[in-house]
């Protein structure tokens, strides 16, 4: 496979068809979670609440910053005043978070399909690929890729459940030495699974295969022609880590005013720090989203072209220059 041709053409496709950036953004949808707790009072002496006359959080001199301590107190006071109301709010937040997770999965699947399908069509010589065209081209494959991700989720849970105890026993009976062999093995397996996932998606989208036929196709391709996929996998993984590291650095810089303001222990200063950091984060967020979208559009395009180059003959001019 001609690596320079694949890497350069993937970039040319992403730069020419900027609608792929949107699908790249969708494919980078992330998940988030949160939690909380509490109970409060202060008046009578023998309370079982977390904050009472002898509780560990009863004083503002605790390790927690003063403002966080105040928020904690307010939550506990609300819980004491209306526990069912607070419970319903927490329950509503839980369902909202779950809905957002499901939505992110739907959008992520659409993004992965759109990038792969768009790159495939662009490599075939399509000259007009706007968002609506790519979206319409992606719809026939949506539920197959969605089912594939559900199978991945179920398989991961089953595998973790089956291997957790054996791995723990190996660690215990080898006094931890077994980790020296397990960690490299797990890294290799995870890397191979990553390649299979990428190529299965392309097989579904590019060759219109069913889920299990696509998995079989990706597996055979990995066994028969592993090294080109290993090279692309290493390049995309290292590139993704490097780019995300660079993109995260400004977030820490933006949060510095807020972290500094916490040590002043006054609401006015903390408010100013929060406003400065919040404004900086809001201004930086669109750039970060766009950059990550371009990156994931490029990675998805690379995998689509890699699959095509390994499964379909190139035109003579390209075939002569290709290196297996």
pLDDT reported for residue 68: 62
Per-residue pLDDT of 186-201, as tens digits, reads 889 999 999 999 999 9
Can you tell me the distance from the alpha carbon of 222 to that of 100, in angstroms, rounded to the nearest whole number?
34
Query: Which carries the bigger pLDDT value, residue 5 or residue 57?
Result: 5
Q: Is residue 275 part of a domain?
A: yes
Q: Is residue 93 part of a domain?
A: yes
Per the structure block, which two tokens stand in for 45? Answer: 């002496």
CB 314 within 8 A of CB 284: no
Q: Is residue 49 part of a domain?
A: no
Pick from 100, 302, 116, 282: nearest CA to 214 = 116
pLDDT reported for residue 51: 39
Please state the rounded mean pLDDT for residues 211-234.
94
Query: Which carries the bigger pLDDT value, residue 125 or residue 76?
Result: 125
Can you tell me the distance from the alpha carbon of 184 to that of 196, in angstroms, rounded to the nearest whole number?
18
pLDDT reported for residue 236: 94
Angle at 222 between CA 145 and CA 17, to 5 degrees: 50
Q: Is residue 96 part of a domain?
A: yes
pLDDT reported for residue 47: 40
Query: Which carries the bigger pLDDT value, residue 35 or residue 303?
Result: 303
* Structural domain total, the chain: 1
pLDDT reported for residue 44: 41
Per-residue pLDDT of 17-30, as tens digits, reads 999 999 999 988 74
Please state the rounded mean pLDDT for residues 135-158.
92
Can you tell me the distance from the alpha carbon of 55 to that of 65, in angstroms, rounded to the nearest whole number?
17
pLDDT reported for residue 37: 38
Q: Is residue 9 part of a domain?
A: yes
Judged against a pLDDT cut of 60, whether residue 39 lies above it is answered with: no
Q: Is residue 230 part of a domain?
A: yes
Q: Is residue 123 part of a domain?
A: yes
pTM of the predicted protein model:
0.77
Per-residue pLDDT of 58-80, as tens digits, reads 444 444 455 566 666 767 777 67
Q: Is residue 53 part of a domain?
A: no
pLDDT reported for residue 59: 44
pLDDT reported for residue 41: 39
69-73, 87-91, 237-241: range with highest mean pLDDT: 237-241
Judged against a pLDDT cut of 90, whether residue 317 lies above it is answered with: no
pLDDT reported for residue 286: 93
The end-to-end CA distance of the chain, in Å, is 5
Q: What is the pLDDT confidence band of residue 110, given thresholds at 50, 70 and 90? A: very high
Domain that holds residue 11: 3-31+58-321
Judged against a pLDDT cut of 70, whether residue 319 lies above it is answered with: no
pLDDT reported for residue 214: 95
């Amino acid at each position: 496979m001609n690596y320079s041709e694949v890497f350069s053409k993937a970039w040319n496709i992403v730069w020419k068809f900027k609608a792929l950036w949107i699908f790249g953004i969708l494919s980078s949808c992330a998940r988030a979670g949160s939690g909380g707790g509490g109970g409060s009072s202060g008046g009578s002496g023998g309370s079982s609440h977390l904050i009472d006359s002898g509780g560990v959080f009863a004083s503002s001199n605790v390790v927690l910053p003063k403002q966080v301590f105040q928020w904690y107190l307010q939550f506990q006071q609300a819980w004491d005043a209306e526990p069912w109301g607070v419970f319903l709010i927490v329950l509503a937040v839980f369902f909202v978070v779950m809905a957002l997770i499901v939505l992110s999965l739907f959008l992520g699947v659409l993004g992965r399909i759109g990038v792969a399908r768009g790159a495939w069509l662009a490599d075939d010589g399509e000259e007009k690929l706007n968002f609506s065209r790519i979206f319409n081209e992606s719809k026939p494959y949506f539920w197959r890729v969605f089912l594939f991700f559900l199978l991945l989720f179920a398989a991961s849970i089953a595998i973790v459940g089956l291997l957790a105890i054996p791995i723990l026993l190996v660690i215990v009976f080898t006094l931890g030495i077994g980790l020296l062999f397990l960690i490299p093995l797990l890294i290799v397996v995870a890397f191979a699974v990553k390649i299979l996932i990428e190529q299965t998606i392309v097989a579904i989208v590019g060759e219109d295969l069913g889920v299990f036929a696509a998995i079989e196709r990706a597996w055979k391709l990995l066994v028969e022609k592993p090294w080109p996929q290993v090279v692309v996998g290493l390049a995309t993984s290292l590139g993704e880590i490097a780019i995300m590291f660079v993109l995260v650095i400004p977030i820490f810089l933006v949060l510095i005013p807020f972290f500094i303001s916490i040590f002043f222990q006054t609401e006015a200063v903390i408010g100013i720090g929060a406003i400065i950091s919040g404004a900086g984060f809001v201004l930086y967020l669109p750039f970060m989203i766009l950059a990550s979208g371009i990156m994931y559009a490029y990675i998805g395009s690379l995998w689509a072209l890699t699959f095509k180059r390994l499964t379909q003959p190139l035109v003579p001019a390209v075939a002569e220059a290709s290196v297996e």
